[in-house]
Structure 1
Amino acid sequence: MDWKKEIKSWGLILSLFAFLYFTGLLPVVQGAIQSVLLSTGLIKPKLELVDLSNQDFNYRGRFLDFDGNEILLESYRGKTLFINLWASWCGPCRAEMPHISELYKSLENEPNIEFLLVGLDNDIEKSRNFLDGKSWTFPTAHASFGLNSSLQSQSIPTTLVVSPEGKIVFYQEGMSNFNSDEFRDFLKNL
């Protein structure tokens, strides 16, 4: 084995990662690669119910939209609510956003289904700047006032669905391609 070639190869790889990390491009590249992976359909939401399912959703809470208006969780009571927690620095969050946008577009005329994607960046400007110029379409807000007990999560992205009866009927930590007929039907039939 030629150890000089090996060192050069590893040096090149590490230099590339350092460049991506220090320029802030690592989450962009990571998100693009993961989005392509999601497009294959290999990663799908797990629709079987989990431990949090059928727990009452806590409607206490408020967010700020990116125009500075307050959004009250209480205003979603009685509807099916798709909530996604994300951050601008999260590659998996970036990866699933185009797919959530497509799901939203296919359901935006359904009167009883609401979407809310909540940015968790410490600074609302980071979340706002991340979304600026993106072609994605979905209702967004920022967790400027914190998260209630129903929205506490160990990781992001986290997605949950609340039934019109106020029960958590879907909860998943980690990325997924929610833009599928199966998931669309799941939302419509709640």
Structure 2
Amino acid sequence: MIDWKKEAKSWGIMIAIFAFLYFTGLITPIMGGLQSLLLKTGIKKPKITLVDKSNTDFSYQGAFLDMEGNRVNLEDYRGKAVFINLWATWCPPCRAEMPHISDLYDKVKDTENLEFLMIALDKELAKSKNFMDSKDFSFTSVHASFGLNESLQSQSIPTTLVVSPQGEIVFYQEGMSNFDTEEFRNFLIQTSKK
């Protein structure tokens, strides 16, 4: 027989804990941390296959603001291999994969003709800047202050794509992954040489 009082008390405690985490803003970093641990296990790896936007040309139209408010033109990346990641501070999976992207960046940053473009999608630049300032990531980030062109439109975040020096999308993935794998590092290095 079910003890309804005990059951209601258990549910009340769980709801109170969730409400506390939600209203204090702690739920996002906690979920991000848990998902980052999941990525560290190696269970979620990037699938180096072309999905959805396969073999499509990348549009270099558009501009962003760096975290200091300076304009960054997408056209400046033409002719280079570019690792692009769309993220937001309110997105736990985005937060989860960022330490792994930072580790990846550290390992390939000296690769000639390879750039990283981390694009923040928060409504306000200040929110993205405050988040980046609080972290010790080695990559830099820009803010989508002027919106996104059709090549960067996505159904969900995080979204990651790799553009070849010839301007073709050669990798596209919606959802989080641990991109800091030997296979993916080699893929980026080879893409930058094409």
TM-score by length of 1: 0.98
Q: Once the 2 structures are TM-superposed, how far is the Cα of residue 51 of structure 1 from its aligned partner?
A: 2.9
Q: Once the 2 structures are TM-superposed, how far is the Cα of residue 17 of structure 1 from its aligned partner?
A: 0.6
Structure-2 separation of matches of 1:170 and 1:111: 19
What's 1:188 paired with?
Answer: 189
What's 1:19 paired with?
Answer: 20
Partner-residue secondary structure (3-state), 2:84: strand
Choose 131-140 or 79-88, whichever is displaced more.
131-140
> Between the two proteins, what is the percent identity of the paired residues?
63
Structure-2 separation of matches of 1:67 and 1:107: 25
What's 1:36 paired with?
Answer: 37
What's 1:85 paired with?
Answer: 86
What's 1:139 paired with?
Answer: 140
What's 1:57 paired with?
Answer: 58
Structure-2 separation of matches of 1:71 and 1:53: 26
Partner-residue secondary structure (3-state), 2:117: strand
Structure-1 separation of matches of 2:8 and 2:30: 25
Point out where structure 2 has 5 or more consecutive residues left out of the alignment: none
Q: Once the 2 structures are TM-superposed, how far is the Cα of residue 139 of structure 1 from its aligned partner?
A: 2.0
**Deviations for 1:142-178, whole angstroms, at most 9, x for unmatched residues?**
0001100100011110100000110000111111100
Q: Once the 2 structures are TM-superposed, how far is the Cα of residue 179 of structure 1 from its aligned partner?
A: 0.5
Runs of 4+ in structure 1 deviating by more than 6 angstroms, as ranges, are: none
Partner-residue secondary structure (3-state), 1:56: coil
Match status 1:115 vs 2:116: yes
Q: Once the 2 structures are TM-superposed, how far is the Cα of residue 6 of structure 1 from its aligned partner?
A: 1.3
What's 1:124 paired with?
Answer: 125
Point out where structure 1 has 5 or more consecutive residues left out of the alignment: none
Structure-2 separation of matches of 1:51 and 1:134: 32
Aligned length: 190
Q: Once the 2 structures are TM-superposed, how far is the Cα of residue 180 of structure 1 from its aligned partner?
A: 0.4
1:51 partner amino acid:
D
What's 1:161 paired with?
Answer: 162
Structure-1 separation of matches of 2:145 and 2:20: 32
